[in-house]
Structure formats: C-alpha cells, structure tokens
Chain A
Amino acid sequence: GAGVSQSPSNKVTEKGKDVELRCDPISGHTALYWYRQSLGQGLEFLIYFQGNSAPDKSGLPSDRFSAERTGGSVSTLTIQRTQQEDSAVYLCASRYLLATTYEQYFGPGTRLTVT
C-alpha cells in the first residue's frame, strides 16, 4: 500500500513568515510522529500523536511550533514567525500501534529553508 506522504517536498520561506507542513500517514496507523533533522544531525523528536489521546508535545522547541491531527489521520505542523535556525528537514513517521516491532515508517520529508 501507499507509504507516508509529506508535502511540500521543499519549502523556501522568508524569515518571519508562517509555514504549514503536511503529513499523510499510512492508512490504519494510529501513531504519528514529527521529527526534525538539521544538517549533519540526528533526528530530533518534536511531537507524537496517538489516537484521541493528548499529544506528547515535549519535543517542540518553542511556542512558535504547533501541530494538529485531524480525524486521526492527516497532520499539519505549523511554524509561526520562522527563523533561520528552523531550516531543516522535517520528517513525519507513522506506526501501527499493535505491531510488535515498534517500527516507525518515515515519509520523504519536507526540506524547509528560511532565508
């Protein structure tokens, strides 16, 4: 079946503008994660959604970052008043909660460049 999809694949924005990044998880995967990967760095956890439970927002770096997940499926990560340090690849992953492997399936990412 289809994998995790993300849009846009690339986004260039000016400092101070708001951006929205979209993630469409694998059908049936109730767990959804957002990560950020800066150049030469590992993946930094941002936020986790599981079903109708309150999201784990412990990784969001500032209050300029927010995310929502509508209808338990598509998720949007919003960055307000973007800064140059927000430039990174934003990766979304989903997981089938009952899978014993705990494998997270990653989307292709959105490369965000703030000029």
Chain B
Amino acid sequence: QKEVEQNSGPLSVPEGAIASLNCTYSDRGSQSFFWYRQYSGKSPELIMFIYSNGDKEDGRFTAQLNKASQYVSLLIRDSQPSDSATYLCAVMTGGGNKLTFGTGTQLKVEL
C-alpha cells in the first residue's frame, strides 16, 4: 500500500462546476496535509494546507480533513480552465521534516 494515494485521473469537469479531488494516507500519526498544484512542465506550488479535522476554506478552494478515515480532499468551486493542472496531495511525515507526496490527480476543466 502506498503511503499517500490519489486517483491519477484525468478528472474532467465543466467550467463552473465543483471539482472534488481525494487523497488517502496510511500513516495514522500524520499531522499536516498539503495540496500542491503543478502545471505541466512547472514546479509545484502550495494551494492549501490543513491540520485540523473539518473544513478549511480559502477563496474557491476548500480542504477537508477526516483523520479517523485517513482522508483529505480538495474542493474547487466555480472551476476555471486555468485550474487545469495536476494536484498533488502531500502528508508531513518524519517528525515534520519531509513531505510524502501522492502521484497526483490530473484535473481538466472543459469549456
């Protein structure tokens, strides 16, 4: 079992719809969770981070964390073509010193 699992996609949603990206992790002791966006040929950039169970909202993005189910998700409201990218879920492990990344979900927002 991989430490951080994501569906590779592609996930296709129409413009204006809600995109839902999911991630599960195996280390029950994980404390911090991150979503990075990576455009093709570019380096990852941080979108959201979440530490506590529940929802965290930032503009059109909402991160959701359920530690009991070892599940973290990212919702993108009013999806735009510019949101088309690969979204990487990352979990902080190793005493807070390193991130373990999933393989990413490719999102395509269609006009």
Contact = CB atoms under 8 A, between A and B. Distances in A.
Interface in A29-65: 31, 33, 35, 40-45, 48, 50, 56, 58-59
Contact of B96 (A42, A102, A108): A102
Given A56-B94, A101-B49, A45 B43 contact: no
A109 to B, nearest CB: 6
Interface of B: 4, 6, 8, 32, 34, 42-46, 49, 88, 90, 92, 94, 96-104
Contacts of A109: 43
Contact of B103 (A42, A50, A103): A42
A110 to B, nearest CB: 11
Contacts of B4: 42
A42 B102 contact: yes
A56 B44 contact: no
Interface of A: 31, 33, 35, 40-45, 48, 50, 56, 58-59, 91, 101-104, 106-109
Contacts of A59: 98
Contact of A50 (B43, B90, B97, B102): B97
Contacts of B97: 31, 48, 50, 56
Contact of A45 (B45, B99, B102, B104): B99
A42 B23 CA distance: 13
